[in-house]
Amino acid sequence: MGTEEHLMVPIKKLKAFSRKVFMHFGVNEQDAGVASDVLATADLRGIDSHGVARLITYHDMLELGRINPEPEITITRESASTATVDGDNGLGLVVGPKANAMAISKAREAGSGWVSVCNTNHFGAAGHYVLEALEHDMIGWAMTNSTKLVAPLWGAERMLGTNPIAIGFPGLEQPPIVIDMASCAAAYGKVEIAIRKQEQVPHGWIIDKDGHQTVDPQAMVDGGAILPLGSMRDQGGHKGYCLAVMVDVLSCVLSGANWGPFAPPFALRQEIPGRSVGRGIGHFFGAMRIDAFIDPDEFKRQIDEYIAVFRATKPEPGTDGPLIPGDPEREAEAERRENGVPVLLPVINDIRTVAEKTGLDPEF
């Protein structure tokens, strides 16, 4: 967040306003509550790009009728441990939690549950879903594709989304290990921030429209692309590309959604692909019951020990040593539950726009 101008807002107020906005467009009360919960998880955990900052886009998509506020979510195929879900073009914030709950319910019966979802939209922060699984003593997985922003290694155009992978493992006394990572070298939000601050971005993040590496963030926005995790061939850019393909196939090809460059955008200013190869975007959820593999207490004790051992790693000079995946989000959550969420002024302005258009009062 740094020194950028912001307003501190209690999470309850953000959540209440999102909920009212969803209900304004005909989302039922329960679904609107769930959707605003998913956004609130991101705002609390410091994943600012996936919280209330996106509310205006959800608003615009609902207003234009591009998202169905009352989806009839159906299972199109299933087995004891798997299902394919058609989200009926509902909010990803509604379809995602329901599909994730199906994975958890399958896991309860069959040991594990795996749900691939088509005909859905942006589902918020992937980490939210694995936290749900943790509540049930399960290992949770979540993936999704998204609008094209990332070039495959040796490509000079956007072909893949930032395609995140999330997975969580519960501890006993220690908090859980929660992994939630995009499969590209850097977040698009960081490129935008660099433009706003008139700064260069680090080497290895982006290419320009001709496929040349650059440190000028505007060159990425003007038809360039983000590089996959690992950046170039020598540093393992082929591996990040592989991960993005893995997420894409599990979320989209397996469910019948639009993969790769055909993912419909989640922003009005982005162009809609001229071709469609499926329905909506796709997600992939997994849940594995820990006691289907090992005594859960034994597992959690080992996770506690794992955390202790990795915290005790000899630190790289100039650092405090390795973090445990999930540390930054947990710290943000503790701080923000106490002091509120620092919402940047441009986001506050977006919220005011939404308030004006809907006639709803954000009460902050």
Q: Looking only at residues 142 through 171 of this chain, which bind its own copies when binding is defined by CB under 8 A?
A: 151-157, 159, 165, 167, 169
Complex with its own copies: residue 2 or 359, whichever CB lies closer: 2
Instruction: Specify burial of residue 360 (Cβ count, 10 A radius: 0-12, 13-18, 19+).
Output: middle
Site for its own copies in 260-279 (CB under 8 A): 260-261, 277-278
Tell me if 156 sits within 8 A of 213, measured CB to CB.
no
Site for its own copies in 283-312 (CB under 8 A): 288-290, 292-294, 298-299, 302-303, 305-306, 309-310
Q: Which of 52, 95, 185, 219 binds its own copies (CB under 8 A)?
A: 185
Site for its own copies in 230-249 (CB under 8 A): 230-231, 234-236, 238-243, 245-246, 249
- Residue 349's H or E segment, with its range, is helix 345-358
The least CB distance from residue 305 to its own copies, in Å, is 7
The least CB distance from residue 112 to its own copies, in Å, is 5
Whose tokens are 């594990």? That residue is 112
Site for its own copies in 124-143 (CB under 8 A): 139
Complex with its own copies: residue 4 or 298, whichever CB lies closer: 298
Residue 130 token pair = 């694995």
Tell me if 200 sits within 8 A of 216, measured CB to CB.
yes
Site for its own copies in 307-346 (CB under 8 A): 309-310, 313-317, 319-323, 325
Write the DSSP symbol of residue 252: I
Tell me if 281 sits within 8 A of 144, measured CB to CB.
yes
Say whether residue 105 binds its own copies (CB under 8 A).
Answer: no
Report the b/e string of 257-272 with b at 16+ CB within 10 A: bbbbebbbbbeeeeee
* Rounded CA separation 50/48 (Å): 5
